[in-house]
Amino acid sequence: MLKSRTFLKKTRAGGVMKIVREHYLRDDIGCGASGCAACGSAHEGPVLEPQPLDRVSSLCPQPHYLLPDTNVLLHQIDVLEDPAIRNVIVLQTVLQEVRNRSAPVYKRIRDATNNQEKHFYTFTNEHHRETYVEQLQGETSNDRNDRAIRVAAKWYNEHLKKMSAENQLRVIFITNDRKNKEKAIEEGIPAFTCEEYVKSLTANPELIDRLACLSEEGNEIDSGKIIFSEHLPLSKLQQGIKSGAYLQGTFRASRENYLEATVWVHGDTEDNKEIILQGLKNLNRAIHEDIVAVELLPKNQWVAPSSVVLLDEGQNEDDMEKEEERECTLKTAVSEKMLKPTGRVVGIIRRNWRPYCGMLSKSDIKESRRHLFTPADKRIPRIRIETRQASTLEGQRIIVAIDGWPRNSRYPNGHFVKNLGEVGDKETETEVLLLEHDVPHQPFSQAVLSLLPKMPWSITEKDMKNREDLRHLCVCSVDPPGCTDIDDALHCRELENGNLEVGVHIADVSYFIRPGNALDQESARRGTTVYLCEKRIDMVPELLSSNLCSLRSNVDRLAFSCIWEMNHNAEILKTRFTKSVINSKASLTYAEAQMRIDSSTMNDSITTSLRGLNKLAKILKKGRIENGALTLSSPEVRFHMDSETHDPIDLQTKELRETNSMVEEFMLLANISVAKKIHEEFSEHALLRKHPAPPPSNYEILVKAAKSKNLEIKTDTAKALADSLDQADSLTFPYLNTLLRILATRCMMQAVYFCSGMDTDFHHYGLASPIYTHFTSPIRRYADIIVHRLLAVAVGADCTYPELTEKHKLAELCKNLNFRHKMAQYAQRASVAFHTQLFFKSKGIVSEEAYILFVRKNALVVLIPKYGLEGTVFFEEKDKPKPRLTYDDEIPSLKIEDTVFHIFDKVKVKIMLDSSNLQHQKIRMSLVEPQIPGISVPTDTSNMDISEPETKKKKLQK
């Protein structure tokens, strides 16, 4: 049956256009109940069970299906995902509304409907002849959708009566809309609120904790005192932004001070790019990463960024007087040039809440169901939740979701989602850091795995069609020990004309991952492989990463080769790119390759090839450095694990050999060669990587630190910086140059992916290269897969596809890749920090030499070269007399009593694990030398107690 609507539309040119919309209605759409004779096999995919007996509800003892409305799906998704909830009918009307309002919830619902065990059925009510409803005159689209949902619920109940008159199978309508529920009951539809229904499931009391508390009024605290000003409605915010009265930006909370935040203003405006917010009332219930509207305060109310460290540790959750006292400590007298644009949040444009990991701070009130949850991320405020499981959840890592933040509540309200496991447990803590850094780490879905090649796999005649056979070449790979995802291999040989042929061969991952399929989409979503201390979260399934794509020795593998003809001065004479087949003759570690190069007895073809590569790499590196490339430093650590317990038993900084540099030089050369080629072919949509030059203000700390050691660092250009770093040497202090390079690294900007058609500045500052991309690691970086596809089209080895040449799509992809790379970096650092804690937990207290990296108003940030470990030595501690501190920002220096400390000064510190805060266990450092009476601690550690406080001990022994 065909329904059509006709309406007239005025065109830009002033003419009138007739538009006809056709809507097809069908009789053959199934109800989804298996065993329904009326529908037969009309339904596909997961279906409802014929006898749903899994839930016993005191409100509806008969077998039943659930039919939720849009708001229940949007806000109570945590309840619906629980294994106890099955046999749910998801209407097309509801699904479309959810899709328009929340992409993450829509994805979760799609996952539930694809899960066979959940028995979620999508019913296409908008195309069913008996359930389609037309919008009435004067009826809002919202009211029309509510009516469509009720019509579908009524139709279901009547339809199921025909199917099973004897067992009274029913459909229960779940809605939190009071009016909609009343109308449904009037129409004879069994209807309950989500809360009523969940509380009726007496066999599943834990489900109550997962309910989102939505009604802010019912949720407000008993005191009723208004703390925050009202958020303006969206329409007023948009008007204000348009008129310039308000500014729109991203809210970034501070990790170190819960009463301070910044808003990064959207748009190209250089003025007021960053606005400071101070004090709870000005933060006005915004949460980290929310998109907010801010109003600038008059200039006489502008403030300077606070240098005070303030953590929200108060036990009395609504003591506002105390908060106001703490706000006063932020306001210190500062010079006018330190003042920054200051504002207040007037409304929220978009909430960017996510589920948060953390711990329960159990209420002191006995039998209380209301408790505070402390997130692991210090930028997130504490959350008030109601739970009956407080005693079981104590000392556990849990996940909580925020539901809302009433005006008269000091904290937002939320609900319990999931228990992850015990605090300190390695598996639990790894799960927490993956969730907190938004690293996709669920097992690959069946849809993804089904696209993998069937084993045993081999290269066919068809595969060889557009490929060069390079299996005769003496190719080898050089990687860290234990590496199984080998992306790259190299060869070097002398040609008859006396020149050298050098090849970089990269795994041909794009052969296995075809554009647009489920495997491609999942790889693009993950963006990168994440390397933790003991675990690797692969971007592609293991069959590809460690086997079919990995360029292991003595097996035929598909590759994409970049081959140069060079003279002995490493000058490139010819470059060519080809899809190939290689057979690596050896998989070496950096140490093994170095040993071959240095050996006087080994002269086989692999060793000769490595020596040739190493000689050329040295020339290439020298040339790069002369061009102004920076050689920076960052202390990287390697853990030695116990083979049985997998706990770290030793911690060392990674040793870098010549062979590390050799591989790096050829990877850089390949990336630059490929970048030039793809930009030549696709000037508007090449995926490139740039490293912006830092603003001069970034270098202030480096210049001042060098000056304090009578050295001059020039920062006008990358070349000037590189040269002055090379000259900054001290015979009496050999480690000084490394420290300067570590500090220079901190001054740098983040390198990012971008689309060539959307930017004009391509320069890579750190490498001093006018153009750069990533081509050499497609097993672990999705950017490289796109670059492989672009290069394949450029050399005629593969065909193009629409998304590849659409610059806006490419720009969106780059945005996700930049986010994923940044999060992977943070997750890796968090993993190192956690394993460092485990190491010092077993090691006990140690004293080591350290160098000062930064001086703060009340602390020194130090680096311990032996462990590559950075930490902070604080001089103002609770319950201890405050020392006399004098901070000088110009030098910079910190005077403690009568001793002055400068950046790069050598000190001795005591390192120990502080477990007094279970949630945020940290490495604590105290000054040993130079000795300052009342400040320095003795080297003898026998009388120091670094375990948990007594109260915590008692709780843990329960």
Q: State pLDDT tens for residues 382-425.
A: 999 888 888 888 888 999 999 889 888 889 999 998 899 888 88
Task: Give yes or no for residue 952 having a pLDDT over 50.
Answer: no
Instruction: List 291's β-bridge partners, or say none.
Output: 250, 350
Q: Which residue has the higher pLDDT, 290 or 37?
A: 290
Torsion 24-27-31-32 (CA) sign: negative
User: How far is residue 655 CA from its own chain's centroid?
Assistant: 29
pLDDT at 216 over 70: no
Distance set, CA 19 to CA 4, 14, 470, 676, 887 (Å): 10, 16, 61, 49, 73
How many whole angstroms separate alpha carbon 741 and alpha carbon 699?
12
**What is the predicted pLDDT for the residue at 583?**
95
Query: pLDDT tens, 890-937?
Result: 778 888 888 888 888 889 988 888 776 666 677 888 888 888 877 777
Cα-Cα-Cα-Cα dihedral sign, residues 341, 346, 347, 353: positive
Residues 632 and 726: their CA atoms lie apart, in Å, by 11
pLDDT of 723 > 70? The answer is yes
Q: Which of the four pLDDT bands, split at 50, 70 and 90, describes residue 863?
A: confident
**Which whole-number Å values give the CA distances from 667 to 490, 505, 561, 656, 818, in the listed order?**
10, 10, 12, 16, 20
pLDDT at 3: 62
9 vs 15: CA distance, rounded Å: 9
Q: Convert the pLDDT of each residue in 871-880 to its tens digit.
A: 888 887 666 7
Higher pLDDT, 526 or 924: 526
In whole angstroms, what is the distance from residue 762 CA to residue 759 CA?
7
Which amino acid, 785? I
Structure-token match 């300052």, residue found: 932
Q: Are 292 and 249 in contact (CB under 8 A)?
A: yes
Tell me which H or E stretch contains 158: helix 141-163
Q: Are 198 and 211 in contact (CB under 8 A)?
A: yes
Q: Which residues contact residue 261 at a Cβ distance below 8 angstroms, ignoring those fewer than 6 apart?
A: 251, 252, 253, 254, 276, 277, 283, 286, 288
Look at the chain and count its residues: 958
Q: Three-class SS string for 875-900?
A: CCCCCCCCCCEEEECCCCEEEECCEE
Q: How many whole angstroms separate alpha carbon 700 and alpha carbon 713?
A: 10
- pLDDT digits over 434-466, tens only? 998 989 999 998 889 999 999 899 999 888 888
The number of helices, as runs of H, and strands, as runs of E, in the chain is: 26, 38
User: Amino acid identity, residue 203?
Assistant: A
State yes or no: pLDDT of 23 exceeds 70. yes
CB-CB contact of 853 with 954 (8 Å): no
d(CA 826, CA 144): 47
Q: Which residue has the tokens 């052969």?
A: 511
Overall average pLDDT of the 271-296 stretch: 89
Amino acid letter, 197:
Y
pLDDT reading at 550 higher than 60 = yes
**Position 731 pLDDT exceeds 90:** no
- CA distance linking residue 873 with residue 935, whole number of Å: 11
* Dihedral sign from CA coordinates of 854, 764, 504, 803: positive
pLDDT tens profile 218-242: 344 444 578 889 999 999 999 999 9
What are the backbone angles phi and psi of residue 279, rounded to the nearest 5°?
95, 145
Does residue 836 register a pLDDT over 60? yes
Distance in angstroms (rounded) separating the CA atoms of residues 212 and 79: 9
**Encoded tokens for 187:** 């129409």
Q: Which of the residue ranges 616-625, 684-693, 709-718 would you say has the lowest mean pLDDT?
A: 709-718
**Is the per-residue pLDDT at 507 higher than 70?**
yes
Complete domains list, the chain, with CATH: 9-199 (3.40.50.1010), 234-350 (2.40.50.690), 356-423 (2.40.50.700), 447-682+775-820 (no CATH), 844-957 (2.40.50.140)
Please write the tens of the pLDDT for every residue from 561-575: 999 999 999 999 999
Cα–Cα distance between 115 and 132 in angstroms, integer? 27
* Distance of alpha carbon 855 from alpha carbon 860, whole angstroms: 5
Question: Residue 635: is its pLDDT beyond 80?
Answer: no
Q: What percent of the chain has pLDDT over 90?
A: 38
* Chain center to CA of 192: 38
Amino acid found at 428: T
Q: How confident is the prediction for the chain on average, in pLDDT?
A: 84
| Helix/strand/coil (H/E/C) assignment for every residue in 597-648 | HHCCCCCCHHHHHHHHHHHHHHHHHHHHHHCCCCCCCCCCEEEEECCCCCCE
